Structure 1
Amino acid sequence: MQSLDPHKIEGVPESNVSRDLFEGLLISDVEGHPSPGVAEKWENKDFKVWTFHLRENAKWSDGTPVTAHDFVYSWQRLADPNTASPYASYLQYGHIANIDDIIAGKKPATDLGVKALDDQTFEVTLSEPVPYFYKLLVHPSVSPVPKSAVEKFGDKWTQPANIVTNGAYKLKNWVVNERIVLERNPQYWDNAKTVINQVTYLPISSEVTDVNRYRSGEIDMTYNNMPIELFQKLKKEIPNEVRVDPYLCTYYYEINNQKAPFNDVRVRTALKLALDRDIIVSKVKNQGDLPAYSYTPPYTDGAKLVEPEWFKWSQQKRNEEAKKLLAEAGFTADKPLTFDLLYNTSDLHKKLAIAVASIWKKNLGVNVNLENQEWKTFLDTRHQGTFDVARAGWCADYNEPTSFLNTMLSDSSNNTAHYKSPAFDKLIADTLKVADDTQRSELYAKAEQQLDKDSAIVPVYYYVNARLVKPWVGGYTGKDPLDNIYVKNLYIIKH
């Protein structure tokens, strides 16, 4: 776990815990549609000025009311360069007034386009109309944080003795690298509908261990990465407990676009072409994932992507083209391209890295050294740009193509591929200048074509969401393509 501070996190594991502890203006319903959270209703004027009406019974776990001032403080804190949030750019994706200047240090965070009209009314002003703005508000980074605790305890505010939360649960116990225990928050506005009194999150980096502990009865629900070697066996033995659902996520290899020789588009394109996705998807993983040609999954709301020409070629033709490009870039059998492939600790990522290294060796003659780091270090390395190629995955924060595309903007705090393209940036900026969804979709398609032309990343597959769920866990539908699970929606059937 990077942190329990909603402004310090960027990974899926952290977000899963954060959703139970902190509630933003909106939350997801069980099918993934944005629905009322702390805000019971909202309206907008020309998609540019958004007004949120907060529930009068929304409270912090210490009994104090959650007010519009809490959101003003929290969003300003997220924007403040001193917070150094990996998700500061999320407010740029929402185009909140003055955010670019605040992140650049030209204006104070207090100039952010947010204000409390009164305790119950929160107003957000955008620099341009964003029709899908409300969809962004389900993400943990825009949850409120408790000003009094943050100011009193500094970095230690998330410790069990200090933390104050406003979600359905509060923190009972946190043993680093062992367990996080949450208990029901009686002050939560909708507590009457919560059923489960206590939830324990176990940080398990091995998918095999996850399954073993599930099968021994210690775990009711696994994480959504299933071990390659056990998946088919589990489908035979406990078919009713294996859940496979659509997921808005892309698995890819992130190339450090700023570092030689990867600053040469020919090298990046060669790696993209020579990766045999069919082997990865059907032979190595074999869980129903789909070979990827883009960063944005084609089934994202509002995406109308165009398959690139190379995706229609045979693997043999792709390999021939890749070898040619690599030779042009100065790499040959006598002088092969050699680089490090970084991945975070996990059976799955290790197996895929081994397979990919051998595919690249066979198809392209390149030498790949595998390098493994623990999650927190791995994220730091990618931000610092001290890597060659890294395993990466991006899961949508909201169901709209910009949830992927915005992370590739030159100034995005999520851009760990260190990709910079004025042409790409302009295409994304232009999406907000058109009022028509069809025109917006065309611009998204062009932006994906620009990423493809630059071979900014090596897309591998679009994930499925595969996990084990005990038959006595009620309320889990698997229908949310963002996989936003809230424990408050689950219950345990007597067994």
Structure 2
Amino acid sequence: MKTTILAALIGSTMLTAAWAADVPEGTTLAEDQTYTYRVLDEYDSLDPQMLEGVESSTVVRDLFEGLYNMDAKGELVPGVATSHDVSDDNLVYTFHLRDTAKWSDGKPVTANDFVYAWKRAVDPELASPYAWYMELMSIAGAAEIIAGEADKDTLGVKAVDDNTLEVTLSKPLPYFADMVAHATTFPSPSWAIEAHGKEWTRPENIVGNGAYILTEHVPKERLVRERNTRYWDNEHTVLDKVVALVIGDENQALTRYKAGELDKTDIPAGQYPALKDELPDEAYAVPRLCNYYFSFNLSDTGLEAFKDVRVRKALSMAIDRKVIVDAVLKGGQFPAYNFTPEATAGFELPEIDYAGMTQAERDAEALRLMEEAGYGKGGKPLEFAYLYNTSDSHKQIAIVATQMWKQKLGVNATLENQEWKVFLENRGNQNFDMARGAWCGDYNEASTFLDLLASSSGYNDAKYSNDRVDELLTEAKTSHDTTPLYTEIEQIVAEDMPVIPVYHYSVNMMLKPDLKGWPMDNVMQKMYSKDMYKVAE
């Protein structure tokens, strides 16, 4: 067996404090250790196996803990597991769990809690929106179970004993260990779920194993979590309380931030430069491993015009991405002409033909393609609805894009905004013509983005299907050199244009200077409240 010890050299001292709040010696901590921040909308779920949103994952990382966590630089560090072994054929992973991990009700966290959760995630009866992720992990039997062709108990995961979890893969996956930091793989308390059903995540019912417990949840208003004194590393947790306030209006949230009601909020589109001048120690713009795109509905319910690749490419080329990032967002975002962000580890930005054109050349080609397809100016009218979830920034981007299509191509697009849960349901069921899409990497490897374009992906909202793309994605899972494979995928996608890449993210946020420990150097921006603290002013 090949033994893998996380962070290369983890000693006994690191095992107790290295990934909790790292408070420098001599620091005077604030008396009130309450962190309050703004979220845009209500959470889709607080169930690890049912959530799908970024903000939901942030909360669940506080309430639950998986096998591994991430440190401030995005490197894996121990969570419930302290290390793992890998068999010589790279098909069997054996995780060694700490015997001090406990649930918030005092029960020990065991390997069986992970087995239960992982079988839950692939069970068609639960219909987890992230079931496909478990299949991507190459866990033996996952694909067959999700397809309804096998029983969930055939999943390649078992508890050797209370503190040993064994996972068998269907094929080697070089980045498998990175994937177990994702919320879908977190353990779940079977007794709480069986006792309370869908209500098990309510404050009065929930049982977690994270650094915090849920003490209050008023939907569409506020969510509060407080220190879990039974958490194995509670001694090194500093923040006592974390409060998330749902504030739909970004400008109102900024006003409340300036009034001292919030420790963190998002910067409204276009306001970063001015806020950086006004509050240089509080305004931040840092790269984030996320993309922003528009999805065409290519399913049978989609518009006939969108079945024509010339129309799709014309709409993509007519978008001046530099205007969107430099004049609308103004926060260090990067124009996107391919799907995967350049900041992704090991990814080499491929050559995409239209990326090398000037915007004037793209506009001319867009007009030619649209006329050739028989739509737009001088042709059949093209009208469609663009669906997005309610947000000032999303609205501004939508307005600018639709104006470009109108002025350059004679296309009429109407805007339709919906609150988060309704938006997710309609987008997932292809109840749209074109819809906003965005993806933040679940792990730092290009497949976390490109797998969304696989025919079988649960988040392939465009319902795009290309046999060669599927073949390349499968090959990349075991390849030692993925660069040519990912390059070909990106070039095929640029030719097919099932989605329109718009930009790659930068996190634009206001952060109070007394809040320390934010993971600025982690491009995935996976934060854990247990790693933060507030200093005395």
TM category (shorter chain) comes to: over 0.9
Match of 2:319 among 275, 299, 308: 275
Match of 1:204 among 234, 239, 247: 247
Q: Distance in 1 between matches of 2:169 and 2:51?
A: 24
Match of 1:100 among 143, 168, 178: 143
1:243–1:478 CA contact under 8 A, matched in 2: no
1:31-63 Cα offsets, whole Å, 9 max, x none, are 111111110111212332111000000110000
Secondary structure in structure 2 of the residue aligned to 1:483? coil
Counterparts of 1:363-374 in structure 2 under 5 Å? 363-374=408-419
Secondary structure in structure 2 of the residue aligned to 1:239? coil
Secondary structure in structure 2 of the residue aligned to 1:318? helix
Paired residue type of 1:17:
V
Q: Distance in 2 between matches of 1:197 and 1:157?
A: 23
Q: CA deviation at 1:229?
A: 4.3
The corresponding residue for 1:178 is 221
Q: CA deviation at 1:336?
A: 2.2
The corresponding residue for 1:440 is 482
The corresponding residue for 1:305 is 349
Q: Distance in 2 between matches of 1:332 and 1:440?
A: 40
Counterparts of 1:241-320 in structure 2 under 5 Å? 241-258=282-299, 259=302, 260-320=304-364
Match of 2:233 among 190, 198, 213: 190
The corresponding residue for 1:25 is 67
The corresponding residue for 1:236 is 277
1:303–1:445 CA contact under 8 A, matched in 2: no
Q: CA deviation at 1:18?
A: 0.8
Q: Distance in 2 between matches of 1:444 and 1:467?
A: 32
Secondary structure in structure 2 of the residue aligned to 1:64? coil
TM-score of the superposition, structure 1-length normalised? 0.97
Q: Distance in 2 between matches of 1:209 and 1:167?
A: 32
Paired residue type of 1:242:
A
TM-score of the superposition, structure 2-length normalised? 0.90
Q: Say whether 1:67 aligns with 2:110.
A: yes
Secondary structure in structure 1 of the residue aligned to 2:217? strand
Q: Distance in 1 between matches of 2:275 and 2:382?
A: 40
Q: Distance in 1 between matches of 2:417 and 2:173?
A: 40
Paired residue type of 1:81:
P
1:111-154 Cα offsets, whole Å, 9 max, x none, are 11111111101011111100110111111111111110111100
Q: Say whether 1:144 aligns with 2:187.
A: yes
Q: Say whether 1:328 aligns with 2:372.
A: yes
Q: CA deviation at 1:307?
A: 2.3
Counterparts of 1:68-147 in structure 2 under 5 Å? 68-147=111-190
The corresponding residue for 1:475 is 517
1:251-293 Cα offsets, whole Å, 9 max, x none, are 1111112222212211111111111101111111111111101
The corresponding residue for 1:419 is 464
Paired residue type of 2:391:
S
Secondary structure in structure 2 of the residue aligned to 1:116? strand
2:287–2:505 CA contact under 8 A, matched in 1: yes
Match of 1:227 among 268, 272, 275: 268
Match of 1:4 among 16, 21, 46: 46
Secondary structure in structure 2 of the residue aligned to 1:212? helix
Q: Distance in 1 between matches of 2:221 and 2:453?
A: 34
Q: Distance in 2 between matches of 1:477 and 1:398?
A: 15
Q: Distance in 2 between matches of 1:12 and 1:432?
A: 25
Q: Distance in 2 between matches of 1:480 and 1:241?
A: 18
Secondary structure in structure 1 of the residue aligned to 2:167? strand
Secondary structure in structure 2 of the residue aligned to 1:381? helix
Q: CA deviation at 1:399?
A: 0.5
Q: CA deviation at 1:451?
A: 1.3
1:92–1:100 CA contact under 8 A, matched in 2: yes
Secondary structure in structure 2 of the residue aligned to 1:172? strand
Match of 1:377 among 405, 412, 422: 422
Alpha-carbon spacing, 1:132–1:229, altered in 2? closer, same or farther (3 Å): closer
Match of 1:48 among 73, 84, 91: 91
2:276–2:284 CA contact under 8 A, matched in 1: no
Q: Distance in 2 between matches of 1:456 and 1:399?
A: 23
2:325–2:331 CA contact under 8 A, matched in 1: yes
The corresponding residue for 2:446 is 401
1:323-363 Cα offsets, whole Å, 9 max, x none, are 22222322132522111011111111011111111011122
Paired residue type of 2:227:
R
CA RMSD of aligned residues (A): 1.1
Paired residue type of 2:206:
I
Paired residue type of 2:419:
E
- Count of aligned pairs between the two proteins: 490
The corresponding residue for 1:353 is 398
Q: Distance in 1 between matches of 2:196 and 2:127?
A: 18
The corresponding residue for 1:338 is 383
Give unpaired runs (5+ residues) of structure 2: 1-42
Match of 2:493 among 434, 443, 451: 451
1:76-133 Cα offsets, whole Å, 9 max, x none, are 0000011111110111111111111111100011111111111101011111100110
Q: Distance in 1 between matches of 2:138 and 2:236?
A: 35
Give unpaired runs (5+ residues) of structure 1: none
Paired residue type of 2:442:
D
Q: Distance in 2 between matches of 1:451 and 1:145?
A: 38
2:270–2:327 CA contact under 8 A, matched in 1: no
Match of 2:76 among 24, 34, 37: 34
Counterparts of 1:483-494 in structure 2 under 5 Å? 483-494=525-536
Q: Distance in 2 between matches of 1:168 and 1:113?
A: 29
1:342–1:373 CA contact under 8 A, matched in 2: yes
2:270–2:330 CA contact under 8 A, matched in 1: no
Q: Distance in 1 between matches of 2:536 and 2:53?
A: 33
Identity of aligned residues (%): 46
1:218-241 Cα offsets, whole Å, 9 max, x none, are 11112xx42024322211111100
Q: Structure 1 stretches (4+) deviating beyond 6 angstroms?
A: none
Alpha-carbon spacing, 1:299–1:231, altered in 2? closer, same or farther (3 Å): closer
Secondary structure in structure 2 of the residue aligned to 1:53? strand
